[in-house]
Amino acid sequence: MIRCIAIDDEPLAVKKIASYIQKIPFLELVAECRSAFEAMKIMENHEIQLMFVDINMPDLNGMEFVKSLVNKPYIVFTTAYSEYAVEGFQVEAVDYLLKPVNFSDFLKASNKVKNRIELNANNQIESLKTTANHLFVKSDYKLIRIELTDIKYIESQHEYIKIHLINSNPVLTQLSLKSMEEQLPKDRFMRVHRSYIVNLAKISVIERNRIVFDGKVYVTVSEQYKEKFQEYIDGNFV
């Protein structure tokens, strides 16, 4: 399932997009948002893979919102104004739908996203090889071996991830956090935020629902993952 949000300040428009999402079997509607600010709050606590976003909205328009995102999901713009099309594709939008959006065009755009996700997943499998104790990742045209015990945490950076290590510089590789999560052993690593996976063995300090690394890096445990993380803490509490 592709986790989606619909963003539009017009109530009828956002309801229409939400109804389209609910008709497509491979899409999952996470939230309807009436502004970019509402969407920000949702994205803090949920992993969103796709957003259908209107451009003309008050305070912060859809184009400005997308440009502000560090870790962008797939983007499909919905708008009544065709003049934004070129700018939309410059920010790597998958599609650009003119209002009134009909279901046929919406379905085509959704299938484009689905195909890109599947292609990207297949490419990423080729870029990541894991064993019980180490993994190989492609970085700067090299294959780098990383011992699992050396990983502190893994950070998402849009189409890349940064693997933070104990005694060496981070390794940047073109993978999604989801692909990495699927390859790592579940009893040793846990997703705690849409942007972070942590090595459970490297957690030494937890402060106000945040994991502290090296006394200066704070990784928040988001609502989506809080229950699972609490179960781990309870199971290891003395």
Q: What is the DSSP track for 31-60?
A: EEESSHHHHHHHHHHS---EEEEES--SSS
Whether residue 101 sits in one domain with residue 118:
yes
Whether residue 170 sits in one domain with residue 108:
no
Q: What is the DSSP track for 163-207?
A: EEESSS--EEES--HHHHHHHS-TTTEEEEETTEEEEGGG--EEE
In our burial notation (b when 16+ CB lie closer than 10 A, e otherwise), range 91-111 reads eebbbbbebebeeeebeebbe
Whether residue 36 sits in one domain with residue 7:
yes
Q: Give which of 68, 179, 183, 76 is closest to 135, Cα–Cα.
A: 183
- Measured distance CA(104)–CA(173) in Å, rounded: 37
What's 92's domain CATH number? 3.40.50.2300
Q: Which domain holds residue 57?
A: 2-124
Whether residue 109 sits in one domain with residue 34:
yes
- Measured distance CA(52)–CA(75) in Å, rounded: 6
* Total domains present in the chain: 2
Whether residue 88 sits in one domain with residue 110:
yes
pLDDT > 60? residue 34: yes
Whether residue 112 sits in one domain with residue 166:
no
Whether residue 182 sits in one domain with residue 113:
no
pLDDT-wise least confident of 81-85, 122-126, 151-155: 122-126
Is the pTM higher than 0.85? The answer reads no
pLDDT > 90? residue 199: yes
- Helix, strand, or coil (residue 105): helix
What's 152's domain CATH number? 2.40.50.1020
Whether residue 137 sits in one domain with residue 119:
no
Q: How far is CA 168 from the centre of its chain?
A: 26
Give per-residue pLDDT as tens, 79-113: 887 776 666 667 788 999 999 999 999 999 999 99
Task: Check: CB of residue 52 under 8 Å from CB of residue 22.
Answer: no
